[in-house]
Amino acid sequence: MSEPYPVETPRSFEEFRACEALQRELDPPVPAPIPAWFLWEMARAGGLCLAAFNGIGVTREPLGLVVALRRGDGVEATLRVVLYGVMRDRPDRDGIREGLLAGLRDAARARGAAAIVWPFDPLEPEWAEFLFEHGARAEAYELRRARSGEIQAFRALAVVRGDAGEAPWRGAALGSFFPVNATRPVSGGLREPVSWNLHLGAERLLLEVPSPGISRLPRALREPWAEAWRALEEYLDRGYALVGLYRQRERAFLVLERAP
């Protein structure tokens, strides 16, 4: 019987070095790895650096990583994730993710944090699905724009408060969802968006996202799919929340619900 990977703070500077190297192999990709010395100092200053380790003793190596900081005071305190990921293409990535989240929940309770705030790109459906399956809900977002106004990066702020409850949208008939976009198949078994509707007002919406994730798309497809960020900005600003991910064979759809 296999044992779960232990999730804990690196024990030595060499393990922090291994965590720095791991960042070059993470899914989702890390734009700029955090140096080992910074992870080391941050952990000693009260920040949180957790890794899922494979093996024991001096031969163990990190397979997944999460870095978080405590923000706020009292009942408003949260644990804010600033970096995360699992080694790319690991067949056991689900178990590694589960372990990292369990470690985060333990750390949140120990630090008196009421919730975990986990920024993620909604166009990476594997991570979106994982967070929603564990009770996340995203009502806010952060983005970075170019000087031209174009969105360069979009992060929905998933709030994880406890164990996953029953998702009301799962019991709804598919016909009650209104599509935000339409897509068509292209070569390689992929799809591209062909139209967008930013003026819907239904209770529940579906927004199709690239099934492999935007970071895995050919460059020519990333630009048209980046329009999904603009659609998310529009609907979240109007009071919708991201609450789930619906799969239909090889396709993936974000579920948006209008707040009561």
pLDDT of residue 162: 66
Top pLDDT among 232 and 135 is at: 232
Q: Is the pLDDT at 57 greater than 80, yes or no?
A: no
Angle at the Cα of 29 from the Cα atoms of 164 and 238, rounded to 5 degrees: 55
Tell me if the pTM is above 0.85.
Answer: yes
User: pLDDT tens digits for 73-121?
Assistant: 877 899 999 999 999 989 999 999 999 999 999 999 999 999 999 999 9
Q: What is the mean pLDDT of the chain?
A: 91
- pLDDT band of residue 31 (cuts 50, 70, 90) is confident
Q: What is the mean pLDDT of residues 226-234?
A: 96
pLDDT of residue 1: 43
User: pLDDT tens digits for 171-214?
Assistant: 677 777 899 999 999 988 999 999 999 999 999 999 999 999 99
Q: What is the mean pLDDT of residues 26-54?
A: 95
pLDDT of residue 163: 60
User: pLDDT tens digits for 160-177?
Assistant: 986 655 666 776 777 778
Query: Residue 121 and residue 107: Cα distance in Å, rounded?
Result: 23
Domain at 7-160, CATH homologous superfamily? Gcn5-related N-acetyltransferase (GNAT) (3.40.630.30)
- pLDDT band of residue 2 (cuts 50, 70, 90) is low
Q: Map out the domains of the chain as residue ranges.
A: 7-160, 168-258
In this structure, the chain runs to a length of 260
Buried b (16+ CB within 10 A) or exposed e, 94-103: ebbbbbbbeb
Residue of 151, 143, 179, 194 lying closest to 255 (CA atoms)? 179
pLDDT of residue 11: 94
Q: Is the pLDDT at 16 greater than 90, yes or no?
A: yes
pLDDT of residue 3: 65
- pLDDT band of residue 4 (cuts 50, 70, 90) is confident
Contacts of 86 (CB under 8 A, 6+ apart): 26, 27, 52, 63, 64, 93, 96, 97, 100
User: pLDDT tens digits for 124-164?
Assistant: 999 999 999 998 999 999 999 888 888 889 999 999 986 65
HEC assignment per residue over 134-181: CCCEEEEEEEEECCCCCEEEEEEEEEECCCCCCCHHHHCCHHHEEECE
